[in-house]
Amino acid sequence: MARHHRDLMFCRQLPGIAIGSLCEKCDGKCIICDSLVQPEKLVHICDECNFGSHQGRCIVCNGKGVSDAHYCRECTRLEKDRDGCPKIVNIGSARAGLFYERKKYGDKKDT
């Protein structure tokens, strides 16, 4: 997801022992390149990204986690799995702008 949206940022801190989760919408995708082929290595996230209410949440969209996250074979070969914690930290300016636009006009639906 972050490959296609340049305003999304990764955490990139030193990963701990916690394994990242994915929601039903993001299930089966590689965290780095969004490919749906050849999951190879489990994703480890840092302790800050797995603390409190963030525990068990999707590391891409912060939804309810249902399965473990994996890196694909290509990202493992290119050593992109060693860049640090892959959790998406900010939600992006486009999505945040949509939230405030809805709030401004009184729409009760949350994104």
Per-residue pLDDT in tens (0 to 9) along the chain, 111 residues: 556 566 778 889 999 999 999 999 989 999 888 888 889 999 999 999 899 888 999 998 889 999 999 999 999 999 999 999 999 887 655 566 667 777 777 766 554
Name the pTM for this structure.
0.75
Between the CA of residue 40 and those of 7, 28, 46, 80, what are the distances in Å? 27, 11, 20, 13
How far from the centroid of its chain's Cα atoms is residue 107's Cα?
27
